Amino acid sequence: MGKLTQSIEDLIHSSSTAAKPASRAASDATVQDKFDDKMKEVRLREQEDQTKKTAAAAGIQYVNLKGFPVSPEAIALVPQEQAEKLKAICFLYTGTEFRIAAVNPADPQLKELVFQITERTQGNGGIYQISEESLRAGIKMYEVLPKIKLIVKGVKVSDAELARFQSELKTYADIQRVVDKASVTDIMTIIMAAAIQFGTSDIHIEAEEHRVGISFRVDGVLQDVASLPHDFWKKIIARIKLISGLKINVTERPQDGRLTIFLKEGDTDVRVSTIPTNWGESVVMRLLRPGSIAVEFASLGFRPLVEKKLVHEINKPHGMIITTGPTGSGKTTTLYAILRKLNTEDVKIITLEDPVEYKLAGINQSQIDHAKQYTFASGLRSILRQDPDIVMVGEIRDLETAETAINAALTGHMMLSTLHTNDAAGALPRFISMGVKPFLLSPALNAIIGQRLTRKIHQDCKEEMTLDAETMARVTAIIKEIPENSGEIVVPPEQWKFYKGKGCEVCNHSGYKGRVGIYELLTMTDAIRAAMSEKIDEYQVRQLAKAQGMCTMQQDGMLKCLEGLTTVDEVLRVAGEGA
């Protein structure tokens, strides 16, 4: 500071000893300009010094943005309009870390800004103190740096494009032909359009040693539909990550993102998951189409007597309904159908899901967030303070969640949830293995649903078929075990007829189109409650349920085969032969 003051004094002295009177006016102006510049520099340095002291006193880190190398990726995290309003900009972004510089770091709106950026980038953020002058220098960077283009996270498939692709994509083989002629950008559009065209639930794109494999899961079965040269992989994965909000440079750990397919008839959300593999990464994109989940309760496929029993259980004022089965067995569809049936103006329904995949009108849906310790257990406790009548918890995974759910069912709430077991009978020992006390579980449970999804015979190409002797014997063994007190009327074997799909262009020569559920319903009878103990096993529960008239999933499936809805092979594939 002393040297700077001395230089200013020298400048003043030199102005008083100018040699040529003719040029004195110009010389005075030049000296004055230099003097003003020096004084401005002094003030700015004093301002920076004061800002630095203020930051130190508040325990906040300080930065001067003049000359700081700010990247376009960092600047893009905060739009210019928002930066000017909050007097804050992002000056550093590494992919895992970001830093915000602000004139007023204590502004509450900055916490929300950091939270929003953290949500978008999954990175860690921090706030630095800057001066007004430093902010002005930072704002100028929006002009000098390359313009940041807005990235729309989604694939825009127009209805005209969809119609064109639908005319070209009649079979899975057509996908390869169309993809071979397309650019990388168009390839993603074609894949999405084809997925919608064929009713796909999941798209699999996997890097292999010599190719990139593309598969569709249709009606629960994975179909290989196309492949690309391995050289395409980097461009394809970069495109997928770009539109789904994933980090392009992260390849060594799993990532999760979302994108949207924009259509006039309604947007389709797509959940994207990547994991590292030997030859690159594996990408799975789940299409969350609202129409696929909007199944009415009466259309689920319950047999009339089973549906009547289930309606009786869900209309009770309190208790617990559990659905069981592996991933992809339709548990969520069943729960949503039950919720829609129960959703009337005089009840309050709250769900806790991971994640919220489909929106239900008139129902409060909450998504858990492990990063913020908002788990099924903690979320359920909070939900119960919201005075709900009906609560749906996406899954019961641990003792804490199970005990909270059971206590809710015992204190006047209707609880709906899922459990990963092979069948309905396995749910009781699974609860007990978690540590749930049988004397609490017994009065809390109303019913347990075991379920699978089988492909339906395509009705347009359905034809009668004859089973071989071995298969017929297996079918007979399953059907003859249907309990007499189940209420089901089974025609004599000589009247049995079985069907299959011949295969046509509409069903891609598979013989199947659509799916139907096969179910078993275990209701908590007095006999089952009396047998409850910490030593009860699946076999005991199953035998007690059969004695009460329960049809197993396999038996329900065979009855649907006799009705021409599905095939014996399908039932045996998804449900086995039972026990």
- What digits encode the pLDDT tens for the residues 516-525? 999 999 999 9
Helix locations, 151-204, DSSP H: 159-168, 172-179, 184-197
Most confident of the ranges 180-184, 306-310, 357-361: 306-310
List the one residue out of 189, 87, 196 whose CA is nearest residue 132.
87
Q: Which two tokens stand for residue 113?
A: 């800004």
CB atoms inside a 10 Å sphere around CB 555 = 25
Average pLDDT over residues 208-225: 93
Look up the CATH architecture of domain 72-144. 2-Layer Sandwich (3.30)
- State yes or no: pLDDT of 449 exceeds 90: yes
- Average pLDDT along the chain: 86
Name every residue whose Cβ is closer than 8 Å to that of residue 495 and which is 6 or more positions away in sequence: none
Average pLDDT over residues 194-206: 92
pLDDT score recorded for residue 251: 87
| Half-sphere exposure for 249 (CA within 13 Å, toward CB) | 4
Q: Determine which of 146-155, 191-200, 416-425 has the lowest per-residue pLDDT on average.
A: 146-155
CATH, domain range 293-575 = 3.40.50.300
- Using 50, 70 and 90 to split pLDDT, how confident is the model at 149? very low
Name every residue whose Cβ is closer than 8 Å to that of residue 217 and which is 6 or more positions away in sequence: 200, 201, 202, 203, 204, 223
- State yes or no: pLDDT of 7 exceeds 70: no
Q: What is the pLDDT of residues 84-134, one digit of tens each?
A: 999 999 998 887 789 999 999 988 888 888 888 887 777 788 999 999 989
pLDDT score recorded for residue 17: 44
Q: Which two tokens stand for residue 354?
A: 């991971």
- Using 50, 70 and 90 to split pLDDT, how confident is the model at 19? very low
pLDDT score recorded for residue 363: 92
The rounded distance, in Å, linking the Cα atoms of 357 and 293 is 10
Residue that the structure tokens 């609860």 belong to:
431
Average pLDDT over residues 253-270: 83
Average pLDDT over residues 125-151: 76
Domain 154-288, CATH 3.30.450.90 — does that match?
yes
Q: Where are the domains of the chain?
A: 2-58, 72-144, 154-288, 293-575
Average pLDDT over residues 363-383: 87
Residues pairing with 352 in the sheet:
366, 393
Q: Which two tokens stand for residue 195?
A: 């997925």
Residue type, 76: A
- State yes or no: pLDDT of 4 exceeds 70: no
